[in-house]
């Protein structure tokens, strides 16, 4: 692939059926090169995070007839942006050339003399069926498959679908955009010879965490869809292969499948927790309620870093403390050797692991990750007359400094970083709460709970979280939640993300 595409160039990129992991490597590379990105309703918004800084993002979605832009306008816009000398990425759900109208867009580019490239994607009929556990072909069932539009051009006087050929035999038929016309599709297949008992599966939002599957037969699927208020976007799979779903279902039967879970950690720390929940099928909404920033002044921390060799212990209570401590040490032209014979305490295994890149192994990792547990662990050691450095957050509790001082230590606790409240909540998060798509909210510190309450306002905070499962990582966080008026449903015994994830799984297994 050319590393430097010419100016005035268009990439038509298949974004895949919904799971952002299904886009091709080349597709991601093209997104990263683009000066302007025109994206569809069915293209996962997460893919836009791969756009380069300053790229122009243009929504060109079309939802069930409610078009943000007509196709002719999209064609004109592609030509216009390319003529401005821009590299343009046209990000389309599924595959551009499978019911994606990519051919029409290419024709417009050819007519305008604009060079382009097509980057294929996983089409919805294949991706959604696979994630529903339905193999479209199987040597013991059928060796043929047909992809058909369920919504033909409204200007056609007669259907071009060969219903007789589709109806005869045992081949699998996949209909795109057919939910609105489902009664007619089923009736046509039966009228042309397909058995009314033929299995049918409707797959909505295929490959996404919110995937829904409704199974029936040609005789009853339309009525089932009506009663379930089953809506687009969806594909319809017709054929005996649908029966294999009971045995091959693997995606939407995971412990947290379809559960909307709100993660309130800082933006740069939410990823690990989100990945753990998504692996179990959850639909994760990331909502940073904390922004980690440097202290207002480095003066206090710098003064203690200058005399590190005079401390007997340094206590790190979080990954943030480790990161800011060593970043500031580096800014001052020093490294881990400045610790000398100073011993190190890390609160929790994750904090201890954060020390590894700096060549430091914690001398003490208390088994109880609460501040009280840290103090208890030091009771076994002689701290009388010894200096202890505790680089902390601006709003950290005083339990560790006061507790170690009571054991005879001289504790110095400079601020190494601050937790500040972000300016606002993402509108998509508020909408998801309003629409009751979030079933569980997670709090990994008191600050995350307090800040969410502050960002929403007390009344709206309690109203939007009414009936939502609340998970708090430990007793201190749980106490804060209760003080804010929330009922706490999940509180792991071990104060780790892994333990909280396990407790969330267990809770929803018991409350199906």
Q: Which residues are part of the catalytic machinery?
A: 40, 62, 177
- CA atoms lying within 13 Å on the CB side of residue 490: 28
Beta-carbon-side half-sphere exposure of residue 484 (alpha carbons within 13 Å): 30
Integer Cα distance of 404 and 295 in angstroms: 24
Strand blocks (E) in 301-422: 313-316, 343-346, 387-389, 392-393, 410-412, 415-420
H/E run at residue 158: none
* Contacting residues for 275 by C-beta, under 8 A, at least 6 apart: none
CB 41 within 8 A of CB 71: no
Q: In angstroms, rounded to a whole number, what is the distance separating the alpha carbons of residues 147 and 143? A: 14
Strand partners, 263: 286, 442
C-alpha–C-alpha distance, residues 195 and 218, integer Å? 8
Q: What is the DSSP letter of 254?
A: S
| Interatomic CA distance for residues 212 and 216, integer angstroms | 14
Query: What's the per-residue H, E or C state across 280-300?
Result: CCCEEEECCCCEEECCCCCHH
First-to-last alpha carbon distance for the chain, in angstroms, is 49
Angstrom distance (rounded) from CA 334 to CA 376: 32
Distance CA(131)–CA(134), nearest Å, equals 7
Distance of CA 79 to the CA centre of its chain: 33
Q: Rounded distance, CA 81 to CA 77, Å?
A: 6
Strands 9-14 and 87-92, by their bridges, are parallel
Q: Are 114 and 84 in contact (CB under 8 A)?
A: no
Total Cβ atoms within 10 A of residue 4: 7
DSSP reduced 3-state for 278:
helix
Burial of 273 (0-12, 13-18, 19+ CB in 10 A): buried
């Amino acid at each position: 692939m050319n590393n430097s595409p010419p100016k005035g160039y268009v990439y038509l990129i298949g974004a895949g059926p919904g799971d952002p992991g299904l886009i091709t490597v080349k597709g991601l590379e093209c997104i990263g090169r683009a000066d302007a990105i025109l994206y569809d309703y069915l293209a996962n918004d997460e893919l836009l995070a791969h756009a380069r800084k300053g790229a122009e993002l243009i929504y060109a979605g079309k939802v069930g007839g409610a078009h943000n832009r007509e196709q002719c306008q999209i064609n004109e816009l592609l030509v216009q942006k390319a003529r401005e000398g821009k590299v343009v990425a046209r990000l389309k759900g599924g595959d551009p050339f499978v019911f994606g109208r990519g051919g029409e867009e290419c024709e417009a580019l050819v007519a305008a003399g604009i060079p382009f490239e097509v980057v294929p994607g996983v089409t919805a009929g294949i991706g959604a069926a696979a994630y529903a556990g339905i193999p479209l072909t199987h040597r013991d069932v059928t060796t043929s498959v047909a992809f058909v539009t369920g919504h033909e051009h409204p200007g056609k006087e007669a259907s071009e679908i060969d219903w007789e050929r589709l109806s005869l035999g045992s081949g699998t038929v996949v209909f795109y955009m057919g939910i609105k016309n489902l009664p007619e599709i089923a009736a046509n297949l039966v009228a042309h010879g397909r058995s009314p008992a033929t299995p049918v599966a409707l797959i909505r939002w295929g490959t996404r965490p919110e995937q829904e599957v409704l199974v029936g037969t040609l005789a009853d699927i339309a009525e089932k869809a009506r009663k379930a208020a089953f809506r687009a976007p969806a594909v319809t799979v017709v054929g005996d292969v649908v029966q294999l779903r009971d045995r091959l279902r693997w995606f939407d039967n995971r412990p947290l499948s379809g559960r909307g879970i709100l993660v309130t950690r800082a933006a740069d720390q939410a990823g690990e927790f989100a990945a753990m929940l998504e692996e179990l099928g959850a639909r994760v909404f990331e909502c940073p309620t904390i922004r980690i920033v440097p202290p207002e002044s480095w003066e206090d921390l710098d003064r203690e870093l200058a005399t590190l060799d005079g401390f007997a212990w340094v206590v790190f209570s979080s990954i943030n403390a480790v990161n800011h401590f060593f970043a500031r040490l580096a800014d001052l032209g020093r490294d881990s050797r400045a610790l000398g014979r100073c011993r190190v305490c890390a609160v929790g295994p994750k904090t201890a692991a954060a020390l590894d890149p700096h060549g430091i192994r914690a001398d003490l990792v208390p088994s109880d990750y609460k501040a009280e547990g840290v103090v208890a662990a030091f009771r076994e050691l002689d701290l009388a007359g010894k200096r202890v450095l505790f680089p902390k957050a601006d709003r950290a509790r005083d339990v560790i400094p006061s507790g170690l001082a009571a054991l005879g230590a001289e504790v110095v606790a400079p601020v190494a970083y601050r937790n500040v409240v972000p300016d606002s909540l993402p509108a998509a998060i508020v909408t998801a709460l309003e629409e009751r798509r979030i079933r569980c909210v997670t709090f990994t510190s008191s600050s995350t709970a307090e800040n969410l309450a502050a960002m929403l306002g007390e009344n709206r905070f309690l109203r939007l979280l009414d009936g939502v499962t609340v998970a708090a990582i430990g007793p201190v966080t749980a106490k804060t939640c209760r003080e804010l008026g929330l009922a706490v449903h999940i509180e792991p015994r071990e104060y780790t993300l892994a333990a909280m994830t396990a407790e969330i799984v267990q809770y929803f297994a018991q409350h199906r």
